Amino acid sequence: MDDVIATLKILIIGEAGVGKSSLLLRFTDDQFDPEQSATIGVDFKIKTVNVEGNRVKLAIWDTAGQERFRTLTPSYYRGAQGVILVYDTSKRTSFDKLENWLTELRTYCTKRDVIKMLVGNKIDKDQREVDTLTGTNFARRYQMLFTECSAKTCDHVQDAFDELVHKIIQTPGLWDTEKSNSGLKIGERDGEAKASSCYGGCSLI
């Protein structure tokens, strides 16, 4: 549609089992068990959101379990404007691995000012291994947005998600040169192959 101002590529990454897919992609009410989709596995989703009266299309890519085998390819990262980095607050090891994920982001993201959001998941679990302050500090050090949530507090995720999209829209160099680009290719994960116009530097917090 003509009134769509941007098409953004957003990635969700983090260690296996931290709840990336269940937390951010599915808001099912369990009335209708989506067995068929669950069996095959979801690759990516297109969602349309409203940002201050503007329609924005998001292509949201989950790692679809590939992180278990450390096989995320450079093309997975290519062209991404936003990254949601998830860890499990009840599992310290998933937090300790965040540095590795950031290194990978720095290596493969073609846009240097990609907007990052850190999400501490599963706060409803009893045994906390990463407290809120630790998460906050880490997010601040790496200029990331931050939120904590659980499957029961999905509202936080939606808010944080909106904030991420907001930040991207407020960072013109990140998306305005690609306005007409809908060339995200399926299958090859090879879309948006052209080099981005990097304005450099980070833009938030």
Partner 1 sequence: MATNDNQEVQSASDSNHQLTADGKNAQMIICPNCRCKILLKKTAELVNTDIFLPYMRVKKNTSNQESGQVDGEQLSQFWKVDNMFTFENVGFTKTVGSSIKYLICADCEIGPIGWHDINDKTTFLIATQRIHYSD
Which residues contact partner 1 by CB under 8 A? 1, 4, 7, 25-29, 31-48, 57, 59, 64, 182, 184-187
Shortest Cβ distance from residue 85 to partner 1 (Å)?
22
The token pair that represents 180 in the structure block: 């007409």
Shortest Cβ distance from residue 106 to partner 1 (Å)?
27
Nearer to partner 1, 173 or 191 (CB): 191
Quick one: 25 exposed, middle or buried, by C-beta within 10 A (0-12, 13-18, 19+)? middle
d(CA 51, CA 35): 33
d(CA 20, CA 13): 7
Shortest Cβ distance from residue 57 to partner 1 (Å)?
5
Residue 150 CA to its chain's centroid (Å)? 16
Nearer to partner 1, 50 or 100 (CB): 50
Is the separation of the CB atoms in 77 and 40 below 8 Å?
no
Shortest Cβ distance from residue 10 to partner 1 (Å)?
13
Nearer to partner 1, 25 or 198 (CB): 25
